[in-house]
């Protein structure tokens, strides 16, 4: 019996693991898309804002951004939670950069000049997962206005 368990464990450890397809840019795009979708409406103006943010912050061209948005939308649809996206952000940013990311989320929410309670909720949730304090959360919101 122990031989079978050892054999099983050895086989499992030797199997190639799936490569993590989520990089920083994809994680950021996914969080922006989560905010865009939070109110149940995907408006063109919000999609344009997501594109602008990714072009400016990730230094990508329009073609790369469109591919990134498509990939991020697929990952968001398949995701059970935000953990994989937030983990990537937390692993690759400082406290100040995470506050800036919360501000970027607010930019997307303000794109249609209407903050829905669901948008506010998802940004508040993401900010908590990014370990952004409430004071910095509010400062980012005010700066985005």
In a domain, 58, yes or no: yes
pTM value? 0.84
**Inside any domain, residue 10:** no
Question: Which long-range contacts (C-beta less than 8 Å, at least 24 apart) are formed by 117-123?
Answer: 118/38, 118/39, 118/40, 119/35, 119/38, 119/39, 121/38, 122/34, 122/35, 122/38, 123/35
Domain boundaries, position 92: 22-144
The band of 60, judged by pLDDT with boundaries at 50, 70 and 90, is: confident
- Would you tell me how many other CB atoms lie within 10 Å of the CB of residue 110? 16
pLDDT in tens, 4-56: 665 655 665 565 544 456 899 999 999 999 999 998 888 999 999 999 999 99
**Is there a domain that residue 1 lies in?**
no
Residue (of 106, 91, 85) closest to 38 by Cα position: 106
Number of domains in the chain: 1
Q: Per the domain annotation, does 107 fall within a domain?
A: yes
CATH number of the domain where residue 109 is located: 1.10.3680.10
Provide the pLDDT confidence category of residue 106 given band limits of 50, 70 and 90. Answer: very high
Position 87 in a domain: yes
The per-residue pLDDT of the chain, averaged, comes to 88
């Amino acid at each position: 019996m122990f031989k079978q368990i050892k054999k099983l464990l050895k086989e499992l450890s030797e199997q190639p693991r799936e490569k993590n397809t989520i990089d920083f840019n994809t994680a950021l795009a996914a969080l922006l898309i989560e905010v865009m979708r939070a109110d149940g409406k995907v408006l063109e103006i919000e999609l344009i804002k997501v594109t602008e943010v990714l072009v400016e912050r990730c230094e990508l061209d329009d073609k790369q951004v469109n591919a990134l948005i498509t990939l991020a939308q697929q990952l968001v649809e398949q995701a059970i939670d935000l953990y994989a996206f937030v983990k990537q952000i937390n692993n690759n940013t400082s406290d100040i950069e995470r506050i800036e990311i919360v501000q970027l989320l607010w930019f997307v929410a303000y794109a249609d000049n209407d903050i829905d309670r669901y948008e506010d909720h998802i940004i508040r949730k993401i900010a908590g997962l990014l370990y952004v304090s409430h004071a910095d959360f509010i400062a980012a919101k005010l700066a985005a206005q």
